[in-house]
Structure 1
């Protein structure tokens, strides 16, 4: 009997593994599709406008700005506050942000918080933060797409958006998660992850992109695969202790580093006028997606002939290469991404580094950031008018799997600000040639052989599964 039970159990396990591999892995190898290039005239009608629109924009570039602008936005909320984020990394700046959100709830602001359920970072030392938040009567805390062993086709899908909205009048959206590596606080000495956000202020009458972003938050927050965090009675005391710890950490930091909480200038003074800001996003589903955001972004890129793209991760799928080739035939295309030295993500980078020549073969000029710090911003510039800032990477995962969002900004003034940041980053890069090596004269920094070996070893496993990276 034991032998029969053992064989039956093994058979069930094998069948389950086959089910998982088929539904959760191999099904993603065949991406949804639909061809045809976007129509250029439709792209112009969608993203360009005349005159001055209702929204002004602030470029949020430095780590200090990223933290202090978030504090500024949270403190500005009088009625409602939405916070959507992919993941929280290590550091007391995370506690400070949640402490500020808790204080907002204490003064009567209705708060909604949404994190990814699988990689949201709310485990280990941060496991009680969701409880501390959810225990407050003015805070709803939810998690997107929790793991279900019976639906492996949903396992790969994660919430990758990062944005905040206050009172429907101020919003911030970009590529930044939260954590000390993104905010470089006083006393921090580890590698910095350089990122980018845009802050939007509604300052005039008319249809604001903030309304679109609020509607998008509603869709995410109320999705059938979003789960509310509740606080069991036995965890109430732990939740209260954690809330008090957040407030204590915040009070300490505000007392010790008051200037770190204050932007160099207020948001309105730092803002520039825009003609129009458009929200583009992927479908909110928990399975394979039509590449809606990629198509919209491609339409925006087609409005010009000088295209610059920054993405921390790139994969050489056929659709991306075809789009780059078309853009390169129309004008100059430059891509800025991480190098072996700067990349902190071996699976994503190792999948890319062995295929760099495919990008160069499209006519695209490829530049890699040379630093021990990394770049994580996801942006594009089109001529001297359009800018795109969001959460979208130039990879299969952002194209077909994750939830993603970005803002397309019609503003020569904002474009100039972002262009200056691009120029500064390009000056810290080495250009990749057709032979998959840096061009002569490029300022390549030395990389430990152990990291190069790691990238090569990981590439052996990452290449066959590029469609999940």
Structure 2
């Protein structure tokens, strides 16, 4: 009798099962408390190895027991639960996965025990159950081995695992219901997969995919024309004034200064901060911005953040660094056109605006997103871009800041925007609380390490007077848009007396846009553009289109310079004669013209124009002067950057297979 009990409960495979269960609290301590991820990985890999070996040993040495058949899956589920618990305390999105896992396993346990008492025995795990286990194990393994996985990837993996678990649970519930109705004649009646059925399913999938893609793309193929109202309302004289206005401005061309001025505005705000951005990341500069916004909220300042739905889905949703801010009092986050796969006809409409408003006294507007590529002087890859700082300190609540505030509120109140970030489930999440404390510590470090960022700006010496500042914007709905910004800036350019110089990262024009550019070149003696060379362009689609249409652009009369400095140039600005300057988010492509919300700030100021032209020239002096579609006028020491073979291959593939989609890029 003792020998039988020993064989049943104390066999080597069962001892290995006990060992796996004992490893669970050690793993949780190392992962959650000690944050010793490498040791935690080692412990879990040891558990996986033990799981692999106990089955082999049981079958090889005839040690399979009824108790072992129960112990092994129990150890599996406890291990999965421990992994999910650890990850849930680090990644907010996994909290939902953990809850679904617990509900599923609880349902399975209760139903299994009940059906066993009724005499029903399930014939092993079902295929969908094995798939569920495989997906869950794969998700857990990835999060375990790669602890720095992005929050977007965590969200995707969690969503996939949750879907598969729910699918498996539904299948098991149906199976148990069938067995309950006919216990004596239970038959899983799983039809063998037939080729005809598979073929029909494949055709259905292909058809649905094509229909879905059509629903995404077709609504944007019709590019609206300029309305008579827009044509009649344009007056070039509206952008000029003969006396100084109430506002002063300065150009911000340096990434380090761009971060410093944002922190300065936020730190000195007393009532309200408005931040609108296309993209926001919790990297070095992003965390500094988050810490400044958190400190402002702690001081009682209202913080309103508006962000594009694509950026929210890919980098912010479920990210504890952002939850640390949005779960704080006085902070509100609204998402423009959140990604909704059930509304594919809205997926292409994006918010591309970038600006920061402090109270009613100052704002920064330009083309910079809120992360390291555009802000700060840290090491690593950079994009060159532009901002303009506008101050109305001596006359708050007047001038162009009123236009910008009105524009912001018109988007904020759109039905296409949704409030996000207020998720009570995550308010007291350990990772969120930890990130909040780290942000507060970071703000103190920034204050002590960069005291000059927090000193009041001497407006009179740091800025220059502006006669007129006007905001130009596209329509704000998510559908295909009237090209208001493109029409306005080209119409303004046509009124130039001597010269128009504009910078754009890439240029993708349809026939109408090309004709408009030709009209500008016909009216103005000198029209010059600087864009990235094909090799230097960070956008493969933009590089491809420029290569294909370079000769066509030259035929308009445009003088082209190519920035070829090894770092992708992202600036969006132009200068007209010696008075008008403009900085904003508008790229010279069809997406900016017809699909995105866009802003350009048009400023009448000779001093600011000189300031902008001086900064623009720093890039232009090293740019390649295009002679024709195939050659350059090279200065001494100049030689075009060689294009990597991998980039050339990608451009060729885009040209071959996706040139038709140029209006979306």
TM normalised by structure 1 equals 0.92
1:331-387, CA deviations, whole angstroms, 9 ceiling, x for partnerless residues?
211111112343222122222222111111100011110111121111011000101
Closer, same or farther in 2 for the Cα pair 1:344/1:201, shift >3 Å? same
How is 1:235-384 mapped onto 2 (pairs within 5 angstroms)? 235-238=426-429, 239-255=432-448, 257-258=449-450, 261=453, 266-305=458-497, 306-330=499-523, 331-384=525-578
Cα contact 1:340–1:452 (8 A) shared by 2? no
1:197-234, CA deviations, whole angstroms, 9 ceiling, x for partnerless residues?
01111134884110010011111111111111143333
How far does residue 303 in structure 1 lie from its aligned partner after superposition?
Answer: 2.3
Closer, same or farther in 2 for the Cα pair 1:447/1:7, shift >3 Å? closer
How far does residue 446 in structure 1 lie from its aligned partner after superposition?
Answer: 3.5
Unmatched segments (≥5 aa) in structure 2:
1-190
Say how many residue pairs are matched.
466
Closer, same or farther in 2 for the Cα pair 1:104/1:38, shift >3 Å? closer
Tell me, yes or no, if structure 1 residue 229 matches structure 2 residue 420: yes
Cα distance between partner residues in 2 of 1:329 and 1:435? 20
Tell me, yes or no, if structure 1 residue 455 matches structure 2 residue 651: yes
Partner of 2:384: 194
Paired residue secondary structure (2:552):
helix
Q: 146-155 or 203-212: which moved more?
A: 203-212
Closer, same or farther in 2 for the Cα pair 1:293/1:124, shift >3 Å? closer
Partner of 1:96: 288
Cα distance between partner residues in 2 of 1:370 and 1:230? 41
Cα contact 1:58–1:267 (8 A) shared by 2? no
Cα contact 1:360–1:433 (8 A) shared by 2? no
Of 13, 29, 37, 2:221 maps to 29
Q: 128-137 or 167-176: which moved more?
A: 128-137
Cα contact 2:337–2:416 (8 A) shared by 1? yes
Paired residue secondary structure (1:33):
coil
Name which one, 1 or 2, has greater alpha-carbon Rg: 2
Partner of 1:174: 366
How far does residue 10 in structure 1 lie from its aligned partner after superposition?
Answer: 5.2
Cα distance between partner residues in 1 of 2:645 and 2:496? 41
Cα contact 1:122–1:130 (8 A) shared by 2? no
How far does residue 423 in structure 1 lie from its aligned partner after superposition?
Answer: 1.5
Unmatched segments (≥5 aa) in structure 1:
none
Tell me: higher relative CO, structure 1 or 2? Use CA pairs within 8 A at least 6 residues apart. 1
Please identify which structure carries the higher helix content. 2
Cα distance between partner residues in 2 of 1:41 and 1:85? 28
Closer, same or farther in 2 for the Cα pair 1:353/1:312, shift >3 Å? same
How is 1:64-75 mapped onto 2 (pairs within 5 angstroms)? 64-75=256-267
Closer, same or farther in 2 for the Cα pair 1:461/1:309, shift >3 Å? farther
Paired residue secondary structure (2:522):
helix
How is 1:106-255 mapped onto 2 (pairs within 5 angstroms)? 106-120=298-312, 123=315, 127-186=319-378, 188=379, 190-202=380-392, 203-204=394-395, 207-238=398-429, 239-255=432-448
Cα distance between partner residues in 2 of 1:236 and 1:140? 14
Partner of 2:614: 420
TM normalised by structure 2 equals 0.66
Cα contact 1:289–1:400 (8 A) shared by 2? yes
Partner of 1:437: 631
Q: 243-252 or 216-225: which moved more?
A: 243-252
